[in-house]
Chain A
Amino acid sequence: MKQIVSFLALATLAVLLWNLAPIAMPSDLGPVASHYVSHGLQENRGSNLVTSVVVNYRGFDTLGEVTVLFLSVSGVGFVLRRRSGLKVHRQRPASEIITTGARMLFAPTVLFGAYIFVHGHLTPGGGFQGGAVVASAVLLLILADRDLVLPHAALGWLESLSGFGFVLAGVVGLVVSGSFLANHGIIPLGTWNRLLSAGIIPVIYVLIGLKVGSELAALLDVMVHAADEGEAHS
């Protein structure tokens, strides 16, 4: 009965939304978006307009997003901070294929992640994607060796310093040219389509990449060890 009621409610919502969709459907760029598209190249000298929007025009939102990610990771750490009491069966150690493969793939994966976040202003990519790839390299290591202990202090410092650097870059913009996270007058914009161009955008995206990578690595570590400690006390 409950299932039928919830299904009916969802179906009504679906019909309503489907009828609402054409109203919300834009047929061309809005005024804000067309400013970003037509002035983004001159103002930021970056090829990837999405990056210009994320890091420069909407940089304040991105700062908020980084804060939300930090909060959720600290929330996971808080919820799982004590022994979870989970009883995990003693697992067999990972097979040789996984250990060898993880050892072989770790360095290329980290390098690929770094490539993605360093080239965020030129190609599709950026700090969040690159950070996630770096964290997946750490996941490989954890899969290969469940007892792996990550350097927590180093990860914490990396995360704090990169977050601090992001805010600092914003404040420098405020001091130099009067608006938070401004992108002119701090670092020369440089030549178009070069690695060292687009002013402060690559700097901020590298900081975001480091922050997201270390945060997600810490998240994986917390979740794996939540089960481990229960095992140790069972």
Chain B
Amino acid sequence: MMAGNELYVATALGLIFIGLATVTIKRNLIKMVIGFSVADTGVNLLIVALGWFPNRTAPIIDDPSLLSDRATLAVRSAAIVDPVPQALVLTAIVIGVGVTALMLAYVIRLYATEGSLDVSRFGRMKW
């Protein structure tokens, strides 16, 4: 790896696998939802880490001279991290909240009808 963001990528992959392991190994539905949420965080961190380059600043422009001066702007744009993954992750975080809320709603409904949070007890299939 060359970009200098190995730590972020490794942490992100770690979070993804902690989350997926929780989802596959745990039987408690609430813990599975937590696992999905952790994996979601890992994916977000991975996407942001892929758009990060060493020695660059946040994509917020603070110098008014850049409005007229195209040459300086070209230099400065080489000093900014990629704004596209950040915008993507902004989207993904909100969607993650919505998905988590929907999963928790199903958990509430399942607990109310089955009286248990253990997935291995849900044998009935309904088609």
Contacts and interface: CB of A to CB of B under 8 A. Distances in A.
Nearest to B64: A192
A84 B90 contact: no
Interface string B36-61: 00000000000000110100001111
Chain A interface main SS type:
helix
B7 interface: no
B104 interface: yes
Given A48-B60, A53-B83, A192-B64, A128 B99 contact: no
A79 B109 contact: yes
Interface residues of A, number: 66
Contact of B87 (A29, A42, A58): A58
A79 B105 contact: yes
B117 interface: no
Contacts of B83: 33, 36-37, 40, 49-50, 52-53
A18 B95 CA distance: 26
23 contacts: A9-B24, A13-B20, A18-B10, A25-B50, A26-B82, A27-B3, A33-B51, A33-B82, A33-B83, A33-B84, A36-B84, A41-B73, A49-B83, A50-B60, A50-B90, A54-B87, A62-B91, A72-B102, A79-B108, A80-B109, A85-B112, A85-B113, A223-B105
Interface of B: 1-3, 5, 9-10, 13, 17, 20-21, 24-25, 50-51, 53, 58-62, 64, 66-67, 73-74, 77, 80, 82-84, 86-87, 90-91, 93-95, 97-99, 101-102, 104-106, 108-109, 111-113
Given A30-B84, A86-B111, 10 more contacts: A3-B24, A25-B2, A40-B83, A53-B84, A75-B102, A79-B102, A126-B90, A212-B94, A223-B104, A230-B112
